[in-house]
Structure 1
């Protein structure tokens, strides 16, 4: 447990870096503030260490990718199980009570007032900060970084190394990024392992609604579980991202 009554629920890196890109990481940590359930959600440490609590390796990849692109980055600093910053406020999965076979006891007891408290102290400040940093460049592009688990419980293995997600509402960069990744020889999913459009999610809120070019990159988490893997994939992805944007003429 930590004394984090006034802790900022996000980190901003390189705010003044000149790149058009803003790298976002919605699921960067598995931290549970001490004012939520006394700092615990009532699940085993092993569960808090896996993908249900955060995107394993995504924070390190975000930091290294932002450095390579000379771009600012914003990372959340609370577990997705506390409240999910990549969901709209009216999304039924905003506060999960069951995830990939694990019941979340503290969330089962959360009422409307507790949901509101988590929105006010975590979700809304994160999005306000993201909006502010996004607006610092008049030609901003958004690159959201996530990771995915190689296999959900009871589901078939996921074969992809990388998934590129994009909305049908803005296909300006996504398909080109898919093709560019496949040209590198990477096993690349197009809107896999998840669909690329979700009303109210971070990309919708900070890119689509503002007409900002965007892409969402999912990397399989066993590939970026270590600092070495995170650096390898940052070094691989950065020039591809740069070329795709340049070639787009946007």
Structure 2
């Protein structure tokens, strides 16, 4: 089944070799799921429902890299597109202290329905874009909340996630740490530049988007996590895309990848 409403593609005809993805682009709950999940709007505005600011960064990053961008159009609470179909966190019933009423009694039939409507169409479209050229580089854009409930504040401004394939991530992390422009930007905020290597999360879940569309095919890849308070506004999204795009481009050029 195809469901174009499950995703949006921008710049499909752009010639660049990058493919920018945003798995958790929106907090929208489609009408097919009832239009809401029974939780407060304040909870739907939190990181539990989507990656705050990630969509704007992904779109602008793709534009600056003259490459396509694909993004979901459903909340991660509807069904998580960055999880494999057999992952126990595919459909969250409790997330960072919030109970998700409409997911609480979802059975295998309902999970299959949501996979068919949203998860699989997004991944089919992503794979089609990834296969358009042999030298594609997948750049997944996510954001992380500055602090989980009852946990310490996270110190990183940027995290770069990877599994065993560090062809892009290792030189990109080194380039971020060496960037005087980036350092000055962070110091102007009164912080010290801290780049996370597989922080704040481990870089690999079997069946996640990078695993399915990059690792299993030997495609170059990286996953960028930006702290969400830095990209909560359109200005912040544009600024961080502008900071990251030239470093990404130079990483490929200087490594000869």
Give the structure-1-normalised TM-score: 0.95
Aligned partner of 1:35 among 32, 35, 38 = 32
Provide structure 1 residue ranges, at least 5 long, that are not aligned to the other structure: 1-5
Q: Secondary structure at the match of 2:8?
A: strand
For 1:72 and 1:109, the matched residues in 2 are separated by 38
Match of residue 75 from structure 1: 71
- Residue 71 of structure 1: CA displacement? 0.6
Which structure carries more helix by proportion?
A: 2
For 1:117 and 1:64, the matched residues in 2 are separated by 33
8 A Cα contact 2:4 2:121, kept in partner: no
Provide structure 2 residue ranges, at least 5 long, that are not aligned to the other structure: 184-192
- Residue 229 of structure 1: CA displacement? 0.3
Match of residue 10 from structure 1: 7
- Residue 248 of structure 1: CA displacement? 2.0
For 2:96 and 2:174, the matched residues in 1 are separated by 31
1:203 maps onto 2:210 in alignment: yes
Match of residue 167 from structure 2: 172
Against the structure 1 CA distance between its residues 240 and 226, is the aligned structure 2 distance closer, same or farther, given a 3 Å change threshold?
A: same
Runs of 4+ residues over 3 Å off in structure 1? none
For 1:242 and 1:227, the matched residues in 2 are separated by 22
Match of residue 188 from structure 2: none
1:142 maps onto 2:138 in alignment: yes
Over residues 33-63 of structure 1, what are the superposed CA-to-partner deviations in whole Å (9 max), with x where a residue is unaligned? 1121x21111100000010000000000011
Give the structure-2-normalised TM-score: 0.93
